[in-house]
Amino acid sequence: MIPGVRGTRDIVPGDVERWQHVEAVARDVCGRYGYRELRTPIIEREELFAKGTGESTDIVQKEMYAFTDKGGERVTLRPEATPGMVRAYVEHALEQALAVPKLFTIGPMFRYERPQKGRYRQFHQLNVEVFGVADAALDAEVIEMACTFVETLAIQGTELVINSVGCPACRPAFSEALLNGLGEDLPKLCGDCQRRAATNPLRIFDCKVAADQSVIDQLPHSVDFLCDTCREHFEAVQRYLRAYEQPFRVSHRLVRGLDYYTRTTFEILASQLGAQNALLGGGRYDGLVKQLGGADRPGIGFAAGLERLVLALPGTDDEVAPDVFVAALGAAAREAAFVLARALRAGGLQTLVDYEPRSAKAQLKRANRARARYAVIVGDDELARGEVTVKTMATGEQHSVARDGVVAALSSS
Ligand code: AMP
């Protein structure tokens, strides 16, 4: 046996129904908020992420599945969806095509990270992006929609955290304040923090190294360095969230791992998930569209990890089971059984047939194992009389039904 690639997972029957449920709720919620689906390729040019996600991010520096293709072009499996969504929005002039470009996509992402519970090398996201709207009302609506999505899935023990990381006008002063705050302590921090101090000091707040935390806890907070417009924007977002009666906590450590965020950042955490507890995260990225060659348009969005949503989903009892199991007894009956199965399926009933000639007992055992609601037994003698036997599996009760009436009888039951 050749095992699957480390960090990838098969979604097997039994689990796949939970995935389908999460995806169906995602589509339903996105639809209600006016989002349209956009599907972009899994493979993109490597430079899209260097420019979009950011050269200084862990994603671009360490985690991309990038390679030179047979034509000599540098390409990569997408580590996240936003740059590809922005590319497609610009490339197809979706601004003209859609009244409000509200877009979502669902699909796999690839990051070469160390796999653990809730963290994989191929994982799946629901991605939501809105272009062209700068108003704080949209930030709050996007956040509220994310909360509604998680609530609709009945995931318990969640918490919404928000922050503002400012804009290019006020961020430099904050970065400088961080470096000043670190001062003599910088050389004591981990290697990653040293690198972050040089490339993007905000990201020091991402550090999980226990020994670094006492220093990081003393650092200044981004909200204390916001320019007037950023501060007003952040206050407005909070006002709208209160109007929605949506509880939240402001966390100054929520800077998010990507370079393009401006102003609002947010995450929904789920206590039950352990170390990888972020169900979803996002924020505003007002400079990204321009940076990727489009007009100067603001943007905002979030990405939700489907693996983590499925993990956090409460248990369900709905088992997937066929309506009918058709058992044939005798050679002539076999052909009739397959024809009957087709008629049952055409009548909307989920139907299985036994493919091997076996005893009645063996076939009924199989019907039981498949958890079928009914077994329809087709025997040579009954067939001659134009009848079949219907057995209700839960009660064991059985009776004869006219062959021509069985689809109607079971469809209405
Ligand atoms: P990010 O794109 O890093 O902001 O992540 C957004 C969401 O995607 C996270 O909150 C997770 O739910 C999910 N996610 C990110 N990386 C992984 C991963 N390696 N494995 C599984 N889910 C992930």
Whole-number Å distance, alpha carbon 110 to ligand 1 midpoint, is 10
Mean pLDDT within 211-227: 94
Q: Is residue 242 included in any domain, yes or no?
A: yes
Same-domain pairing of 296 and 328: no
Q: Is residue 378 included in any domain, yes or no?
A: yes
The pLDDT value given to residue 330: 87
Average pLDDT, the chain: 94
The pLDDT value given to residue 318: 65
Same-domain pairing of 260 and 119: yes
Same-domain pairing of 133 and 252: yes
Residue closest via CA to ligand 1's atom 14 equals 305
Q: Establish whether residue 259 lines the binding site of ligand 1, counting it when its CB lies within 6 angstroms of any ligand atom.
A: no
- CA 146/CA 302 separation, integer angstroms: 8
Written as six digits, the tokens of 189 are: 């921090």
pLDDT band at 259, cuts 50/70/90?
confident
pLDDT in tens, 116-133: 999 999 999 999 999 999
CATH of the domain at 333: 3.40.50.800
Pocket probe mutation, ligand 1, options 59, 125, 255, max atoms within 8 Å of Cβ: 125
Q: Establish whether residue 123 lines the binding site of ligand 1, counting it when its CB lies within 6 angstroms of any ligand atom.
A: yes
Same-domain pairing of 25 and 95: yes
Of 290, 312, 334, which one is at a domain's C-terminal end? 312
Residue closest via CA to ligand 1's atom 13 equals 305
Q: Is residue 36 included in any domain, yes or no?
A: yes
Residue 308 pLDDT greater than 80, yes or no = yes
Residue 258 pLDDT greater than 90, yes or no = no
The pLDDT value given to residue 267: 97
Residue closest via CA to ligand 1's atom 18 equals 119
Phi then psi dihedrals of residue 71, to 5 deg: -90, 5
Same-domain pairing of 276 and 337: no
Residue 143 pLDDT greater than 70, yes or no = yes
pLDDT band at 256, cuts 50/70/90?
confident
The pLDDT value given to residue 372: 97
Q: Which of 13-17, 282-286, 318-322 has the lowest mean pLDDT?
A: 318-322
pLDDT band at 300, cuts 50/70/90?
very high
Question: How much helix, strand and coil, in percent to the nearest 5, is found in the chain?
Answer: 45, 20, 35
Tell me how many domains the chain contains.
2
Looking from the CA of residue 79, the nearest atom of ligand 1 is 2
CATH of the domain at 271: 3.30.930.10
The pLDDT value given to residue 199: 86
Helix extents (H) in 12-168: 16-32, 46-49, 58, 82-91, 94-97, 136-152
- CA 155/CA 237 separation, integer angstroms: 24
Residue 215 pLDDT greater than 70, yes or no = yes
Same-domain pairing of 241 and 330: no
Residue 67 pLDDT greater than 70, yes or no = yes
Mean pLDDT within 61-66: 95
Looking from the CA of residue 111, the nearest atom of ligand 1 is 19
pLDDT in tens, 348-384: 999 999 998 889 899 999 999 999 999 999 998 888 9
pLDDT in tens, 162-190: 999 999 999 999 999 999 999 889 999 99
The pLDDT value given to residue 257: 67
Whole-number Å distance, alpha carbon 308 to ligand 1 midpoint, is 8
Of 278, 312, 346, which one is at a domain's C-terminal end? 312
- Show Cβ contacts of residue 215 under 8 Å, excluding neighbours closer than 6 positions: 182, 185, 188, 189
* Alpha-carbon distances, residue 51 vs 57, 86, 95, 110, 355 (angstroms): 11, 12, 21, 18, 56
| Domain span at 402 | 324-411
pLDDT band at 206, cuts 50/70/90?
confident
Same-domain pairing of 272 and 236: yes
The pLDDT value given to residue 357: 85
- CA 413/CA 402 separation, integer angstroms: 16
Same-domain pairing of 308 and 349: no
pLDDT band at 317, cuts 50/70/90?
low
Q: Which of 144-158, 184-198, 222-236 has the lowest mean pLDDT?
A: 184-198
Whole-number Å distance, alpha carbon 269 to ligand 1 midpoint, is 12
Residue 223 pLDDT greater than 70, yes or no = yes
Contact present, 279 and 158 (Cβ < 8 Å): yes
Q: Establish whether residue 283 lines the binding site of ligand 1, counting it when its CB lies within 6 angstroms of any ligand atom.
A: no
Q: Is residue 160 included in any domain, yes or no?
A: yes
Q: Establish whether residue 303 lines the binding site of ligand 1, counting it when its CB lies within 6 angstroms of any ligand atom.
A: yes
- CA 410/CA 413 separation, integer angstroms: 5
Same-domain pairing of 374 and 308: no
pTM (2 d.p.): 0.91
